[in-house]
Amino acid sequence: MMSSDQIDTKTRILDTTWNLLESGDKAVRMSDIAKAVGISRQALYLHFPNRAELLVATTRHIDAVKNVDARLAQSRSAASGIERLHAFVQAWGGYIPDIHGISVALRAMRESDKAAAMAWDDRMLAVRHGCEAVVRAIAANGDLRSELAEQTATDLLWTLLSVENWERLVRDCGWSQAAYEQTMRETTEAALLASH
């Protein structure tokens, strides 16, 4: 419409998709997104080949806007393993609310859409790498519980910090974000650290 059209249609689509996924328990069909953006359903396919790729692009968009990389990188600068654990729990745990909506949508497509499943798994693998680094730092400090192999500890931390667990505690059980972060800090500590 306008000359340089305020912001890119592609960006408007991504923002709108994000909003719809965030604020809603509804289904979020392609037609819903189109209507919300103010374009035709078919126009969506001019920008994204299919729903899965639109969702994946939305996660990348959120990552960029929210600057996840920077947030997670911060935890890498902590001195001790324990501080690193705390920083990581806070950084990642604080990011989950932002990606919760899209997480639900992508996971719902798991069964029917291999691409969506792989895209989500790939994102989660990045989180796993973060967990791995934290565990290594704890182990380097000699604070890892002796019964736990590093790999096992990584699996465990990764599992404790899953989006699904956040959903259950914050959304289903009604915990505040602060309560989630505190209890997760304590629980991951209790699970991983030697009581020394």
Tell me which residues touch its own copies (CB under 8 A). 27, 104-105, 108, 110-112, 147, 152, 155-156, 158-160, 162, 164-165, 168-169, 173, 175, 179, 183, 186-187, 190-191, 195
For its own copies, give the closer residue by CB, 6 or 151.
Answer: 151
3-state secondary structure of 115: helix
Considering only 23, 25, 27, 146, the residue that binds DNA (CB under 7 A) is: 27
CA–CA distance from 100 to each of 17, 19, 34, 97 (Å)?
13, 11, 21, 5
Considering only 29, 60, 168, 171, the residue that binds DNA (CB under 7 A) is: 29
Question: Is 182 among the residues that bind DNA (CB under 7 A)?
Answer: no
Residue 91: CB minimum distance to its own copies, A: 20
Task: Kindly report the backbone phi and psi dihedral angles of residue 193, in degrees, each rounded to the nearest multiple of 5, phi listed first.
Answer: -85, 140
Question: Is 40 among the residues that bind DNA (CB under 7 A)?
Answer: yes
For DNA, give the closer residue by CB, 47 or 123.
Answer: 47
Full DSSP string of 150-189? HHHHHHHHHHHT-HHHHIIIIIIS---HHHHHHHHHHHHH
For DNA, give the closer residue by CB, 41 or 71.
Answer: 41
Task: Kindly report the backbone phi and psi dihedral angles of residue 144, in degrees, each rounded to the nearest multiple of 5, phi listed first.
Answer: -75, 135
Considering only 30, 78, 104, 169, the residue that binds DNA (CB under 7 A) is: 30
